[in-house]
Structure formats: C-alpha cells, structure tokens
Structure 1
C-alpha cells in the first residue's frame, strides 16, 4: 500500500529535499568537502530552516542503514532515491557521507556564507514565487497566450496580478527586491531569470535588472491600487 503524504513527509520529506538539490549535478562529495549540490542545500537551509538540518541528517542515516527492498519500493511503501549516477552498491555509503557532512555542519557551526544562488535547485528554493511567475507567464508559450505585440509582457504581468492572491503578489515583490539587492552583473541576472524559468527575452530597452525592477514597481502599484 503506498504511503500517505503525511507518512512520506515524516519519514522522508527532508531526505527528498536533499536529493532534489542534486538534480543535474554530480554527487562528488568527498570526506573533506561537500559537493556543490550539498553546499547549496546547506546554505539555503541554514538561512531559512535551520531546524530542518537535524531532520535531514536523521532521515539520511536511517535510510542508509535500512534501505528498502525491491518489492517494497515497487509497492510504493518506501521512498526511492533518484538515480544520481552512482552504482547501487555505493548509494548507502554516499548517503551516510551526506549525513556526516550535515552533522559536522551543525555541530561545528560550518555555515556556508550567504551568496547568490549557485544551483538550479537553490534558485527555485530561494525565489519560489518568482519562479512561478517567470516559468508560468513568461515561458515559450507566452506569445501564443498574450500575442507577439510590444505590450505582451505587460499583458502577461497584468494577467498574473489579476489571477493571483494579493498576499502571494506581495511575497513576489519581496523576492524581486531581494534579488535586486544582490547587485549582480547583467549577465548573471540574465542567467537568474533563465534558471527561474523565463524562456522569452525581456522587453526592450530594458536590461534584465531594469526589467525586474519595473516588474516590482508595477506589482506594487497593483497592490496599492495606483
């Protein structure tokens, strides 16, 4: 019988978050150094949900010590660790290595310095609402939905504002302001919007950061009714 969502989260929820951080990245953790993926997970989690690190360490260690058999995985009674490119015989040792890195980070206060996101997972974990906007309203389907006119970006933004709860819109404005305070190069802002799901060009004559700033202003105006 498949697990209920509550049981899944209680037993494997944070383990799943760690595994998601490895999507598209190599599990090249060593005894001395966590991988780019795990460092991104540690950085984001330390600064947003530090209490979850203990859960991650415990779930990783428990899973490594008691891996599910093939039948129970097929029945959906256990979480199946995604294929990260390691031989099956090495997955348990790798999970224990991740647990050791997380424990060491907590016990020794090894907190990755705050910085701009580095991985695809970290961009979406840190800016989830911006990812919803860019991936949902500014995907490659935007010209079909809002036309290929000069005002299509404005039309898409107006549709987002009109169909989204104002509290979510306000949260998005905060994410935009946070992203702009990173003071990245324009090439890095271009990378950021691509990582967050934007598949069309930003409108002329804006640079990426200028367009993001204009989006924040337009959404603030919507919230205040101006």
Structure 2
C-alpha cells in the first residue's frame, strides 16, 4: 500500500527536494571537501527561503542511508525510491551520507551563502517559480499557434491568473533584472525557465521583461471599454 502524502512528507519530503536538485547535474564534486554544485544551489536557495528545512534534510538523508529499503517494500510503495541521478546503486547510500555531512557542516558553520544568480535548472525554478509558470506556460514553442503575438499572450496571462500570482510575477521579474546580466546570460535564464520563443523585436530579453512587468503592474480590468 502506497504511503499517504502526510507520511511521505514527514519521512522523505525534504530528501526528495535535495535529490530532485541533482536531476541533470553531476552527483559528485571535483573537490571532495566542497558540496557538488547542485547541493550548493540547494543550500543557497534553502538558507534564504526555508533555513529550518536544512536540519530536516540532513535527518532524512541520513536516516535513509542507514535504513535502505528492500526491493519488496519499494515495489509496494512503502519507501521512497531514489531517482536515478547517475550513481551506481552500490554508491547511493554512502552518497546520501556524504550529502548529509555537507548539509550538517553548513548548518554548524552558520555560513549563509550570499545570494547569487541561479546555477542549475532546479535553482532557477525554485527561485523564480511564477516566472517559470509564465514563460513555460505562455511562451512555449506553441505560442505562435495559440496567440496573435507576445502582447496577446501577456494579456491572456493577466486576464486568467490570480491577482496575487500576477503581483508575484512582477516581483520576480524585477528581482531577476537586479542581476544586471549580459544579454546572453538572460537568454540562458529564460530558456531554463521554459521560454521557447524569442522576445518580440526590437526588444532584448531585459527590455521585454521590463515592459511585461510594467504592463502587469499598471494595467487594470478592461470592463468592456
């Protein structure tokens, strides 16, 4: 019998967040004294958003490493199956312990990583959740078939999304623009967040996002006018 959501979260919820941060990333670090880049991204984001979750992650990773499930219990859904992140099965338990050790050292040192531009796919989406929904949902490769132009897609988002989510998106756009990135770096960022079409000409990524934020922050309901 599969676990219920509450039991899963209590036992494996934060473990799942940590492991998910490694999907598509190297599981090991070139420097054994430093966390792998994916774990650095998790630590950086979590320190600034949910610092209490670090201790939960350390505990859940270490407990799973000490008490790995058997194949039967995995099959019937009583345990969390660690996704394949490119490690041999024989290395999984020791790897979990190593990641728990890195998290423990981070907690005990109290050395909070400074904010930085996201470095992994997971970190982009963890930090800019609503922007990822907006770009991935309204500006996928199907956008030209669904909307007349970019402005029509933005209007559709404004008209259909909850006002609190719109406000959150405006804040995330302004946060992203504070990075002061080069154009090619912004291109990489919005691609990580799901945008599959180019901004409308003659806009750069930065100028288009600023235009979008200004429209969403000021445009009111039409009321048929």
TM class, shorter-chain normalised? over 0.9
Structure 1 residue 141: Cα displacement: 0.9
Corresponding residue of 1:130: 131
How far does the alpha carbon of each residue in 1:116-144 deviate from its partner, in whole angstroms, 9 at most, with x for none? Answer: 10100000000000000000000011111
Which ranges in structure 2 are unaligned for 5 or more consecutive residues? none
Corresponding residue of 2:98: 97
Q: With structure 1 as the length reference, what TM-score do the two structures score? A: 0.95
Alignment of 1:30-41 (within 5 A): 31-41=32-42
Alignment of 1:121-200 (within 5 A): 121-147=122-148, 152-200=149-197
Tell which deviates more after alignment, 211-220 or 109-118: 109-118
Corresponding residue of 2:13: 13
How far does the alpha carbon of each residue in 1:93-152 deviate from its partner, in whole angstroms, 9 at most, with x for none? Answer: 0000000000000001232221110100000000000000000000011111114xxxx1
SS of alignment partner, residue 219 of structure 2: helix
Aligned residue pairs total: 221
Verify the 8 A CA contact 1:161 1:169 in the aligned structure 2.
yes
Matched, 1:43 2:40: no
Structure 1 residue 86: Cα displacement: 1.1
Provide the C-alpha distance between the structure 1 equivalents of 2:120 and 2:196, rounded to a whole number of angstroms.
18
Provide the C-alpha distance between the structure 1 equivalents of 2:219 and 2:81, rounded to a whole number of angstroms.
44
Provide the C-alpha distance between the structure 1 equivalents of 2:219 and 2:19, rounded to a whole number of angstroms.
38
Structure 1 residue 31: Cα displacement: 3.6
> Over aligned residue pairs, what C-alpha RMSD do you find?
1.2
Which ranges in structure 1 are unaligned for 5 or more consecutive residues? none
Verify the 8 A CA contact 1:104 1:110 in the aligned structure 2.
no
Provide the C-alpha distance between the structure 2 equivalents of 1:171 and 1:15, rounded to a whole number of angstroms.
27
Structure 1 residue 164: Cα displacement: 0.5
